[in-house]
Amino acid sequence: MSAIPGNTPAAKAIHLRIRRQDRPDSTHYWQDFKLGYEPDHNVVSALLALRADPVTVAGARVEPVAWEHNCMEEVCGACAMLINGVPKPACSALVDQLAQPIVLEPLPKFPVVRDLIVDRSRIDDGFRRVKAWIDIDGPWDIHEGAPRISQRQWSESYLYSRCMSCGCCMAACPQFGPHADFMGPAPLAQVRLMNAHPTGRYDKADRLHAIVAEGGLSDCGNAQNCVRVCPKAIPLTSAIGELGRQATLQALRDLLG
């Protein structure tokens, strides 16, 4: 992909406009910074360079910007933030492909801790609510004689296993946020993944009961923003469609006893 005009070596600078917030209960404010241009910067590496010399365009030396990062390989999801109005991981957001000034904001829909750091605990709460894991302890065989997974099923499930809990899908979802109880697309996609696992199927009914409760499947408005911003291209709306069919069949089983 070609560089964005105004964001080339000839520009000789990287302009960052960052929304800052000192405490969870304080008012946010904006600060502008300019860095010397270097090739192959991503947003995280630009923020690291800024940390070494946090001086605003106005010449004020300020506290370094706070943000999270870990893997630098678009695997952990920790560095997700709003970049030029779009939720995405900062490690894979290349400066040369972004219009300047590059506007950085904390991921929306989540409580701000400080600057670009947000509290993503609601994602974990959703995972716990739907039991998004596989129990390996129980009265069943999980080693010798355990059900095998076909290559086709493995390939389909792999699409959903790539979720890194970054929260981008939740940030883009109009039904998710402090105004609503909707658990969001990420936990729902994990239900699709766990219900397809041979051992995970033992808890399938419990998961389906969880997602038909308040704040579950029926709260999805089908805006499809989630699939547009998912950095791992997870077919989130396909998962939600499949879960609708699973939930209907489970309701019939419950009715018939």
Three-state helix/strand/coil letters over the chain? CCCCCCCCHHHCCEEEEEEECCCCCCCCEEEEEEECCCCCCEHHHHHHHHHHCCECCCCCECCCCCCCCCCCCCCCCCCEEEECCEEEEHHHCEHHHCCCCEEEECCCCCCEEECCEECCHHHHHHHHHCCCCCCCCCCCCCCCCCCCCCHHHHHHHHHHHCCCCCCHHHHHCCCCCCCCCCCCHHHHHHHHHHHCCCCHHHHHHHHHHHHCCCCCHHHCCCCCHHHHHCCCCCCHHHHHHHHHHHHHHHHHHHHHC
- Residues linked to residue 30 through DSSP beta bridges, in sequence order: 19
Residue pair 119/179 in contact by the 8 Å Cβ criterion: no
Structure tokens at 34: 């300019």
Q: What is the pLDDT of residue 88?
A: 97
Q: Which of 23-27, 96-100, 113-117, 199-203 has the weakest average pLDDT?
A: 199-203
Share of the chain above pLDDT 90, in %: 84
Mean per-residue pLDDT of the chain: 92
Q: What is the pLDDT of residue 37?
A: 92
Give the Cα separation of 104 and 8 in Å (integer).
Answer: 19
Does residue 148 or residue 58 have the better pLDDT? 58
pLDDT higher than threshold 60 for residue 126: yes
Q: What is the pLDDT of residue 10?
A: 46
Tell me which amino acid residue 103 is: V
Q: Where are the domains of the chain?
A: 9-118, 121-256
- Mean pLDDT, rounded, for 25-44: 96
pLDDT digits (tens, 9 = 90+) for 151-180: 999 999 999 999 999 999 999 999 999 999
Q: What is the pLDDT of residue 1?
A: 45
Match domain 9-118 to its CATH number in 3.40.710.10, 3.40.430.10, 3.40.50.300, 3.10.20.30: 3.10.20.30
- What is the reported pTM? 0.90
CATH 2.60.40.60 fits 121-256, yes or no: no
